[in-house]
Amino acid sequence: MKDVTELNFEQAMEELEAIVRKLEAGQDSLENSITLYERGVALKQLCEKKLQEATLKIEKITIPG
């Protein structure tokens, strides 16, 4: 499993969606579910950061300075 910081937005979203599906299925052990949840939180934070960075880039392009 790659370190979260090595993933691009699309990879992080794909993995996050897979984690959500696994957690919703509820078939993992409690310990594994906690590990998945923690990874999901890290992926969510990464996606939010990358979206914020993209938004700032777009604002720089579209808002005259």
How many folded domains does the chain comprise? 1
Domain range spanning residue 47?
4-62
Residue of 32, 30, 31, 4 whose CA lies nearest to 16: 4
pLDDT above 90 for 8: yes
pLDDT above 80 for 63: no
Give the CATH number, domain containing residue 54. Answer: 1.10.287
Average pLDDT over residues 12-41: 97
Q: Looking at residue 57, what is its pLDDT?
A: 92
pLDDT band at 45 (very low <50, low <70, confident <90, very high): very high
Please name the amino acid found at residue 39: R
Calpha distance 46→40 (Å, rounded): 10
pLDDT band at 50 (very low <50, low <70, confident <90, very high): very high
pLDDT digits (tens, 9 = 90+) for 23-32: 999 999 999 9
8 Å CB contact between 59 and 42: no
